[in-house]
Amino acid sequence: MGKTLTEKIILSHLIDGEPVKGSEIGIKIDRTLTQDATGTMAYLQFEAAGIPRVKTDLSVAYIDHNTLQTGFENADDHAYIRSAAKKFGLQYSRPGSGICHQVNLERFAVPGATLIGSDSHTPTAGGIGSLAFGAGGLDVAVAMGGGAYYITMPRVVGITLTGKLAPGVSAKDVILEVLRLLTVKGGVGKVIEYRGDGVSALSVPERAVITNMGAELGATSSIFPSDSRTKDFLTSQRRERDYTELFADTDAVYDEEYTIDLSRLAPLAACPHSPDNIKPVSELAGKKINQVCIGSCTNSSYRDLMTVAAILKGKTVAENVSLTVSPGSKQVLTMLAANGALADIIAAGARILESACGPCIGMGQSPETDGVSLRTFNRNFEGRSGTKSAQVYLVSPETAAFSAVAGAFAVPDTAYEIPEPEYFDINDNLIAAPATEADADTVEITRGPNIKPFPRNNALPDAITADVILKVGDNITTDHIMPAGAKILPLRSNIPAISEHCFTAVDPDFPKRAKAAGQGFIVGGVNYGQGSSREHAALAPLYLGIKAVVVVSFARIHKQNLVNNGILPLEFQNAADYDKIAQSDTLQLDGLGDLTSSEVLTLKNVTKGETYDVSLDVSPRGKKILKAGGLLNYISKTD
């Protein structure tokens, strides 16, 4: 029986476990990336592990999230990361170099390599044929130290692409169609693998748009084959030496299969407040808008912005619309400036933002009250934009640009042929090399006053009795748990300070109530913890005394982050039991001393005199980590 591309890469990197679907495996990680919103904590954890030098083939620290410097905090984090990268052997992508996933695709990503990053959109590199995973910072720190990355052996979904995109339809519409088919929960425990004749019609940047938003499916990763289009892209980046042809076997067997005819797709939009709330743009045509934001790690490539420039050339943005454009990298911005496209964008009335994440993470450009904002981003969760009442839609660059001129939703219907450059402008002067190993001891780590030690849990007790501090519903995102935005992101290296904002978007009194209680439970519904990989969504609850989270189901990365920090991730055996528990009920868990042999635990509701069966669906290794009080404690014991 033939192998999928996913299976081939996993088997070539397997160092622990058996590759049986649903079982835990450990794989060798070739490369890592971090960004500054998660990087400070990852490097503090790497320091705590006591490893003097990274052991990966390549690790890169990017500055792209916290670039709005309204106080000393972000600049201090950058100084810390710069010095840590210099000392520990990482490349350092300076502010202005660009968004981590865009720069990685341009300058570093290679077919067949494994990559983990402390950002949920790390699978963007799947567009070039890398097997890439979003993870918590602690998992990245372990990988940098040479440790295996543990995942559940995934099921593989084969999506066959046929045909060619019609005028006005783009790669963004392809992934929105996949989200319509599978939903935000449809990729959990799976890798999405693309194949078929339609693949050859998509360039690497277009493929990267699709793999980027695989994160919104809850997928473990997404991947395209490495073919002649991949070789062309690498050659244009003067990296042809990195090319390797990679395909699934012709007789590969997939766990699920779908077919999408690209020629039948129409422009689509993800409506508020979920990436899978999909409607054709034609159904929204004429609806007035207030803001358009073009950019993010999803849609800020050279091809994307050249298309936008072609649409805007000679036109003016509608009076009722504020249009911003964020080039994805210095390379993209430089080339647009050199060929005149940037001038066309500016002349139309766009506001040019720096090459960074910016509005996508709520770092500026919050819409007006009740404003309708069209964004080429990947997430439209309620309040993520910085304005809770805003109505945020996710669309393609083509739809965004047409609509910005019209002042309302407009259906793009014109093809703009954007030739791929024979060679991109190559200038890596904003990527700083580390000190040599011989000189590493001379590098001093820079620590500003906002950089605090991360919290470490204690070993798991034999029993826990505590109140339900918070009960929430379905599809709680990491933005709900640990909000982003310009006011909160600068506190990422200060867990005591950032914990004051934990869950405040849901319940402003949660931090005060949790601290008063000393310890407690959180109860939630379906798909708890979807969205960003932000480890702070586990670290802040840990600091506030949360001992267990009991839900109907978890999103993958957040569940692992809870395990890594010693918080019990429990799931109701009977989903109806969720309704029986009220906030402030007192719950009791016994039998935790023999956790390694337990598959199902009994959760007692002391207040109501009831019991519920809850599963602890983690591997034997995961249970040992929980017993130790977290991954860092576990590593310290086993080392």
Nearest to 438 by CA among 59, 53, 50: 53
Active site residue 594: no
Please report which helix (H) or strand (E) contains residue 117, including its range: strand 114-117
Domain ranges of the chain: 5-264, 269-406, 464-633
121 is an active site residue = no
* pLDDT tens profile 8-45: 999 999 999 999 999 999 999 999 999 998 899 999 99
The answer to whether 330 and 301 are in contact (CB under 8 A) is: no
Fold that domain 269-406 belongs to in CATH? Aconitase; domain 3 (3.30.499)
Can the peptide bond before residue 273 be classed as cis, meaning omega within 30 degrees of 0? yes
Catalytic residue among 31, 229, 379, 480: 379
Give the pLDDT score at 485: 81
Output the pLDDT for position 531: 86
pTM for this prediction: 0.93
In the set 375, 492, 534, 621, the catalytic residue is 534
Distance CA 392, CA 293 (A): 10
Determine the pLDDT at residue 250. 95
Mean pLDDT confidence for 185-201: 96
242 catalytic per annotation: no
pLDDT of amino acid 534 = 84
Q: What is the pLDDT of residues 378-429, one digit of tens each?
A: 999 998 998 999 999 999 999 999 999 999 999 998 888 898 899 999 999 9
pLDDT at site 344 = 98
Is position 579 annotated as part of the catalytic site? no
Q: 202-250, pLDDT tens digit by residue?
A: 999 999 999 999 999 999 999 999 999 999 999 999 999 999 999 999 9
Is 418 in contact with 307 (CB distance < 8 Å)? yes
Q: What value does the mean pLDDT of the chain take?
A: 95
* The predicted structure's pLDDT at residue 488: 86
Dist. CA 427–CA 533, nearest whole Å: 30
Catalytic residue among 13, 31, 65, 239: 65
Which of the four pLDDT bands, split at 50, 70 and 90, describes residue 164? very high
Fold match, 5-264 / 269-406: yes
What whole-number percentage of the chain has pLDDT above 90?
89
Spatial CA neighbour of 236 closest among 112, 106, 362, 129 = 106
> Looking at the chain, how many residues does it have?
639
Give the alpha-carbon dihedral of 465, 471, 477, 483, to 10 degrees.
-80
**pLDDT value, residue 605:** 98
> Which residue matches tokens 């405040």?
504
For residue 207, indicate whether it is catalytic: no
**pLDDT single digits (tens) 345-384:** 999 999 999 999 999 988 899 999 999 999 999 999 998 9
Structure-block tokens of residue 518: 């000393």
Instruction: List the catalytic residue out of 36, 77, 119, 479.
Output: 119
Residue 145 has pLDDT above 90, yes or no: yes
Q: What is the pLDDT of residue 174?
A: 98
Structure tokens at 165: 């995109």
pLDDT of 375 reads: 98
- Residues 89-139 have pLDDT tens digits of 999 999 999 999 999 999 999 999 999 999 999 999 999 999 999 999 999
| Cα separation, 218 vs 238, whole angstroms | 34
Q: Rounded to 5 degrees, what angle do the CA atoms 117, 119, 125 make?
A: 60
Q: What are phi and psi of 580, to 5 degrees?
A: -85, -15
Position 597 scores a pLDDT of: 66
Does the active-site annotation cover 379? yes
Is the predicted pLDDT of residue 72 greater than 60, yes or no? Answer: yes
Given pLDDT bands bounded at 50, 70 and 90, which one contains residue 635? confident
Residue 317, pLDDT > 70, answer yes
Is CATH 3.20.19.10 the right assignment for the domain spanning 464-633?
yes
Question: Which pLDDT belongs to residue 639?
Answer: 52
Give the chain's count of helices (H) and strands (E).
Answer: 20, 27
The vertex-425 CA angle with 336 and 309, nearest 5°, equals 15
Question: Of 64, 76, 173, 577, which is the active-site residue?
Answer: 64
Cα 247 to Cα 592: distance, rounded to the nearest angstrom:
46
Query: pLDDT tens for residues 577-618?
Result: 999 999 999 999 998 988 876 689 999 999 999 999 999 999
Domain 5-264 coded CATH 3.30.499.10: yes
Give pLDDT, residue 636.
78
Q: Rg of the chain over CA atoms, in angstroms?
A: 23
Indicate the range of 175-179, 297-301, 331-335, 480-484 predicted with least confidence: 480-484
Say which residues have a Cβ less than 8 Å from residue 387's Cβ, sequence separation at least 6. 366, 367, 368, 369, 371
Mean pLDDT of 250-258: 97
| pLDDT attached to residue 454 | 77
Nearest to 128, CA basis, from 160, 106, 159: 106
pLDDT surpasses 80 at 638: no
